[in-house]
Structure 1
Amino acid sequence: MATRPLTGTKVFLILVAFFGVVIGVNVTMMKLAIATLPGTDVDSPYAAGLAYDREISAAQDQASRKWQVNAHIERRADGNAVLQVEARDASGQPLTGLKFAGRLERPTDKRADLAVGLAEAGIGIYRGNAASVAPGQWDLVIEGDAKGERVFLSRNRVILN
């Protein structure tokens, strides 16, 4: 069997093919990474840093109220989730007249976040529904407002099956 000699042209074509495959894979991976990038966590880290002291003050005010706020969320078989929040003051009396809002945030992708509107269903009990909640880990964020001012904030990791 006769073998063909390794010529400069063959070496050149092998190098072009090798680097063509490497560059093609890199371009494909780059396009996929950019297409699935959810974006930044905050648009302005500087503004977020300035708001830090206000958040600390709001957390201290919230702790001084000594409210007892319990939340329960349940994902149903149809994919909907029911959120119930029970709010009581320091003496155990139900808190009424507040405006609570809930949010389900995906820890890894802000594009999948879902808002949950809560309405007062009873004295100190607030309920709401979220449609099409995927199973998995979520951050449950509950905010309570009184007269346009945020008076309560809670963030908890939950797993919905």
Structure 2
Amino acid sequence: MASNPLTGTKVFLMLVAFFGVVIGVNVTMMKLAIATLPGTDVDSPYAAGLTYDREISAAHDQAARNWQVNAHIERRAYGGAMIQLEPRDAAGRPMTGLKFAGRLERPTDKRADLSVELSEAGIGLYRGNAAAVAPGQWDLVIEAEARGQRVFLSRNRVILN
């Protein structure tokens, strides 16, 4: 049986094939990684650092108000979700006249975030609906404004099945 001798041309072709496969896999993985990258948490870490002191001050002001905001989220049969808020002041009285905004944020993918418009449905009762909410973990973010200033912020992890 005659064997084919290993020549310089064969070695060169094997090296080109090997590195071609490695480079091809790397390029494919890089394209997939870039296509599925959800982005950064903040657009500018420098600007986020500058607002840090304001956020701490706002958190202290919120704690001093001693408000209690009960949030309830309910999954609907059509795949949406209904959010209901019941804000109470320090004395336990229902609060009216606030402008509430809600967001359902996906912890793993900011592209899936959903805004929920909350409107006053009664005395101290705010409701809103989100359409087509995928099952899984979400962060329910609630913000309240009074006279153009944020007076309440809450972030809670919820699981929707």
Structure 2 length as normaliser, TM-score?
0.97
User: Counterpart in 2 of 1:66?
Assistant: 66
Aligned residues: 161
Aligned-pair RMSD on alpha carbons? 0.8
- Greater CA deviation, 23-32 or 33-42? 33-42
Structure 2 residue 16 is the aligned partner of structure 1 residue 6 = no
Identify the residue that residue 18 of structure 2 maps to in structure 1.
18
Q: Report the secondary structure of 1:90's partner residue.
A: coil
Cα distance in 2, alignment partners of residues 8 and 75 from structure 1: 68
Cross-structure match for 1:152: 152
Instruction: State the match for 1:28 in structure 2.
Output: 28
Q: Distance in 1 between matches of 2:37 and 2:92?
A: 46
2:79 alignment counterpart: 79
AA aligned opposite 1:82: M
**3-state SS of the aligned residue for 1:120?**
strand
Q: Match for residue 98 of structure 2? A: 98
What does residue 54 of structure 2 align with? 54
* Cα shift at 1:106: 0.7
Cα displacement string for residues 57-107 of structure 1 (whole angstroms, at most 9, x for unaligned residues)? 111111111111010112223110000000000111000011111000111
Distance in 1 (CA, whole Å) between partners of 2:71 and 2:117 is: 14
Structure 1 residues 3-12 or 120-129, which shifts more?
3-12
Partner Cα separation in structure 2 for residue 62 and residue 39 of structure 1: 30
1:88 aligns with 2:62: no
What is the CA-CA distance between 1:109 and the residue it aligns to? 1.0
Q: Quick one: percent identity of the two aligned structures?
A: 84
SS of the residue aligned with 1:71? strand
2:130 alignment counterpart: 130
Please, what TM-score do these two structures have when normalized by structure 1?
A: 0.97
Name structure 1 gaps, 5 residues minimum.
none
Q: Deviations over 1:100-148 (max 9, x none)?
A: 1100011111111000000111110100000010001111000011111
